[in-house]
Amino acid sequence: MFKFLLRRFATMVVMALCLTYAVFYFTNLPPNLEKIAKSEAGSRITDAEVDSWLAKNGYASSTPQRYGEWLGVVPGWRNTTPDGKVTGRCIARGTDPAVAPRFCGVAQGNMGFSNVFKQPVSSIIGLRLGLTGWLMLCVVCVMVPVSLLIGILAGMREGNRLDRSLSAVSIATTATPEYVSGVILITLFASSVTGLKWFKGTATSAMDNITFENFTLPVMTISLYAIGYIARMTRASMAEVMTAQYIRTARLKGVRFRDVVLKHALRNALIAPFTVIMLQIPWLLNGVVIVETLFNYKGFGWTLVEAAGNNDVELLLGCSVVAVIVVLVTQLLSDLGYALLNPRIRLA
Amino acid sequence: MDPLSWPEITIAIAGRLVPVWIALVVTFALSMRFKRRLGLYGKLFDSPIGMLGFGIVMFWVFTAIFADQVITFDPLSQVSRMKNALPGMPHPSGEGYYLLGGDNLARDVFSRVVIGARRVLAIAPAATAFAFIMGITLGLPAGYFGGKFDMALSFLANLVLSFPVILLFYLLVTPEIRVTGIPTMMAAVLFLFPVIFLVILWNSRYFINPMQRNIYVGVTLVFGLWAYSGLAFNADPLGVWSMDPNLLNVFVSVVFVNAPTVFRIVRGIVLDIKTRDYVAAAQTRGEGPWYIMLWEVLPNARGPLIVDFCLRIGYTTILLGTLGFFGLGVSPESPNWGSTINDGRKLLSLYPHPALVPAIALMSLVLGLNLLADGLREESMKD
- Mind listing the pLDDT tens digit for each residue in B17-74? 999 999 999 999 999 888 888 888 888 888 888 899 999 999 999 999 999 888 888 8
A27: nearest CA partner in chain B: B171
Q: Band of the pLDDT at A314, cuts 50, 70, 90?
A: confident
| Position B163 confidence tier, pLDDT thresholds 50, 70, 90 | confident
Residue A333's pLDDT is what?
A: 85
Helix (H, G, I), strand (E, B) or coil at B97: strand
B370:A26 CB<8 A: no
What backbone torsions phi and psi does residue A83 show, to the nearest 5 degrees? Answer: -85, 20
Where do the structural domains in chain B lie, given as residue ranges? 6-117+338-380, 122-314
pLDDT digits (tens, 9 = 90+) for A112-137: 888 888 888 889 999 999 999 999 99
Task: Answer whether B232's CB lies under 8 Å from B188's CB.
Answer: yes
**Quick check: B38 contacting A, CB < 8 Å?**
no
Phi/psi of residue B275, nearest 5 degrees = -90, 0
**pLDDT tens-place string over residues B202-217:** 999 999 899 999 999 9
For the structural domain made of A122-310, what CATH number should be given? 1.10.3720.10
Nearest CA in chain B to A325: B162
Instruction: Name the strand (E) or helix (H) holding A344.
Output: none
Say if residues B331 and B23 touch (Cβ distance below 8 Å).
no
pLDDT band, residue A347 (cuts 50/70/90): low
Burial annotation B162-201 (CB, 10 A radius, 16+ → b, else e): bbbbbbbbbbbbbebbbeeebbbebbeebbbbbbebbbbb
CA B251 to chain centre: 10
Q: Tell me what the mean pLDDT of segment A184-213 comes to.
A: 81
Residues 334-353 of B with CB under 8 A from A: 338, 341-342, 344-345, 348-350, 352
Output b/e per residue, A238-249; b: 16+ Cβ within 10 A: bbebbeeeebee
Rg (CA), chain B: 23
Q: Quick check: B167 and A176 CB within 8 A?
A: no
Name every chain A residue with its beta carbon within 8 A of the beta carbon of B167.
Answer: 23, 304, 308, 319-320, 323
The pLDDT tens digits of the residues spanning A25-40 come to 988 888 888 888 888 7
pLDDT of residue A274: 84
The CATH 1.10.3720.10 portion of chain A extends over: 122-310
B172 neighbourhood in chain A, CB within 8 Å: 26
Q: How many CB atoms lie within 10 A of CB B281?
A: 12
Query: Do B344 and A183 count as a contact with CB atoms less than 8 A apart?
Result: yes
Task: State ipTM.
Answer: 0.87
**Contact predicate A158/A245, CB 8 Å:** no
User: CA-based Rg of chain A, rounded to a whole angstrom?
Assistant: 26
The CB-side HSE value for B344 (13 A sphere, CA atoms) comes to 36
> What gap in Å lies between CA B109 and CA B361, rounded to an integer?
12
For residue B86, the 8-state DSSP code is: P
Question: Which 8-state DSSP code applies to residue A261?
Answer: I
User: What pLDDT, on the 0 to 100 scale, is given for residue B164?
Assistant: 84
Structure confidence by residue, pLDDT tens digits, B248-293: 899 999 999 999 999 999 999 999 998 999 999 999 999 999 999 9
Distance separating alpha carbons of residues B142 and A11, to the nearest angstrom: 19
Q: Is A226 exposed, middle or buried (CB count within 10 Å of its CB: 0-12, 13-18, 19+)?
A: buried
Residue of chain A whose Cα is closest to the Cα of B361: A180
Question: Which residue on chain A is closest to B368 by alpha carbon?
Answer: A175
Q: Which of chain B's residues have a Cβ under 8 Å away from the Cβ of A19?
A: 159, 162-163
* CA count, 13 A, side-chain hemisphere, B157: 22
Q: What is the C-alpha to C-alpha distance for residues B64 and B55, in angstroms, rounded to an integer?
A: 14
Hey, how many other C-beta atoms are within 10 angstroms of the C-beta on A21?
16
Q: Which chain A residues are Cβ-neighbours of B369 within 8 angstroms?
A: 175
Interface of B with A in 166-205 (CB under 8 A): 166-167, 170-172, 176-177, 179-180, 182
- Cα-Cα end-to-end distance for chain A: 6
Task: Name the residue of chain B whose CA is nearest to A202's CA.
Answer: B349
Tell me the shortest Cα–Cα distance from B330 to chain A, in angstroms: 15
The SS3 of residue A202 is coil
